[in-house]
Chain A
Amino acid sequence: MSTLLEISGVNKSFGGLQALDDVNLKVNEGTVHAIIGPNGAGKSTLLNAIIGKLVPDTGTVKFDGKDMIGVQPHQINQHGISRVFQTPEIFGELTILENMMIPLLAHRDGAFKPALWSRSDAQGDILERAEHFLSDMNLWGKKEVHAASLSRGDKRRLELAMCLSQDPKLLLLDEPTAGMARADTNNTIDLLKTIAGRGITMAIIEHDMHVVFSLSQRISVLAQGHVICEGLPEEIKTDPRVREAYLGGAEV
């Protein structure tokens, strides 16, 4: 199994706060890797460092063997990394269909192609794919609705569909089931399992341990910006350091 993402010695501090403290982490190709840890541990910050939203103070991020430090966010995405954010990042004022077309166009045409004269509604291949991904999420019927008016769960599903439509090599998920009802959570687990089954590598941040243990092959535990342990799910379940990090949190 080859390493798809390799983070080594990454540090990031905000003022006096050490948000990431010498983080080392490897995500192997074709696996689901969970990143867990208490609130404020630095999980989202770590994803920010991967997608180029912030540049680490020190350390390296390698994706597919290539150094990603200092690479522009859009180039990082074009290399094959897509991210679902903790609070859905979609195009609120645009219709669901248009939301879906933008990532598809970015995937087909690259970072910049000023197609001024062709019509969006004449892009057959793009529309076909949009229908496919939206139907998967039960959103095709709402394609003319403005994304801002969707429920929180639907927004998440839309964002997930947008990321998946880009056929990413690595999918980053930041708490994909937060705020979802149990039934919805289970649907999402099934969905993510199908996606993983297609061989898409995933790094998933999640507080819900049911989700973590149903999906992941490997788990890293982050606390106060540091990876305190990493291993197979069974190992993590019984590791005393993890219990301590969660201050006796009942969930683990």
Chain B
Amino acid sequence: MKYFLTSALTKGLVGQILTFIVSYGLIRNFRKTVSGWEVPAPELSGWQAPYDEPAMVLATIISLFGFLLACGVVSDWLKMMAGQKPHLKHGAQGKPEWTRYINIDVNHKVIGIQYGLNSIFILLVGGLLAILFRLELALPGLQFLQDGSQYNTLFSAHGIIMIAAIFAGVGAMTNYLGPVLIGASDMSFPRLNAFSYWVGVPSAVILLAGIFMGGWDTGWVGYPTHSTTTQMIGVQMFLLGFYLNGFSSIASGLNMVVTAVYMRAKGMSYFRMPIFVWAAVAASILQATTTQTVGVALTMVVAQRTLGMNFFTPVISPELLAAGVPAGDPILFQHIFWFYSHPAVYVWILPGLGIISELLPVFTRKPLFGYKWIALSSIGIALVGMLVWAHHMLTSSMPPAWKIPFMLSTLLVAVPTGVKFFSWLATIWEGKMRFPTPMLFVLGAISVFLLGGLSGPILGTIATDMHLHDTYFVVGHFHATIFGGFVFPFFAAIYYWFPKITGKMYDELLGKIHFWIMVPGFWVMSLLQMRVGVLGMRRRIADYGSDLGIQVEHALITVATLAIGWSILIMLYNLITSARKEELAPENPWESRSPEFLAPSPLPEFNYLAPIEVVGEPYDYGLEGATYAVVPTPAGD
């Protein structure tokens, strides 16, 4: 308890809350006394509360600094500015080992676990919101929610919170695995790495607070002119939380690319890197280069709401036009938003697809088929992914002639994605497959990602998208891509590296139960979502009416959602009890050729006891006498 209260996490949260309250009070009273301005009471609805909106925005921004200063993640940099030369601190500083996870730590494995815990925590919160609104949707009519605003807040918060959880999960995988797999001792910039993680915490707090401070009803896309005019002022917290999370993305993306370029072990050429690293680099390039545009889009909405700068409202009032006020354009936002947000979906799935490619050879006991093609297809997906953004706008006010090129580029994504599927199949063909839990999740991921991929082209051709856009078909489509491309591979990775992380083995039976509830449950959920979408169920609605004849489907979707929720609890129970048991896991439980299994478990502070050297290809299963990496015996031993 003592350690908890003095941890960086507690200090940061207290710092954030205090700075928010103090600065909100000061700014609000300043505005009141200087301009005699009173908070107008908005039309109250749902969970709305009358906040002074500009004061809330400023106080929220200041509260981020409150968190960062109080938790201490920037103190080394401040010392450097003051001319000192602080040393990187390693280890638990005399406290129990577990306190490292709630304090500032520069070790990439600690940061990876922090991301992982954060991700699971946020997933649980977002999942809870989903269960709430799935219960509401189980029957036609409004059940327990009072009005549409409450429903809108629930689904909007669910969306962006889940996205924050995915970014944290991607951070967990790239941070923990990246340096280990390339034989490095840490990331290139350990302090920046810690900063990337810690800046994500206050942004998650801001997003969560938005639910209670007004709520918002714009979805995760926040299109103007709805987002610029809505009375639900929690939208500001959504915009700011989303924005601040971007710092985490940009910094960690840069860090990963530099690490992969400069920190590889001796002998590890680019085409000898474990395949996951390729995927992580492709995702990191996207993160480091496209996040800025969504930052611009979100800033413009905040500026229009708070400062009255008109970017998006098409004003025609003749007096204003005569006065030289230019008209805005709502479609502008959609372009800059999707220019980032389509590549963002590839940031979510590329690392997961990398996990699939990484684990398949181990459990089929066969080399990864077409290593170079898979590696380059990750880069290909990333590049084509930057050219398709307006396929989210196929029914917008964009002129028809502009829609056609985006339709064609979207269909083209199928080519590099197909390369991945076919290479996986060729790896599996004739493989002597084994089916422990991680492999089950890999196969589940392939099957679910297939659902997502197959439902893509039909959304890409304009004529069919005119029917499907903004329906539950899209909801089914992107849940399948995200579960297949992120959630299931993430779980596979957790089970697979659990013995490496904790030194203990998870419980195989519980793992299998988790799998056999969750994957079929997901199939039911997402296929039925697609079906109701085809039949006319719109996205983002609190009630659908019985005239569509989709009540049975909706009830089943809710049942499947509840099953998925329970299976996650089983996983948590499994991981927690297994980590606490005495018995140690075998050294290399999967007979993997990967270098991390040359080192003891749990991994030492600097991963390998001596720098490893790569002497062969990574996936030469079935080749007599082949080795990938060796730990050279230190001279004189």
Do A and B bind?
no
List chain A positions with a Cβ less than 8 A from chain B.
Answer: none
List chain B positions with a Cβ less than 8 A from chain A.
Answer: none
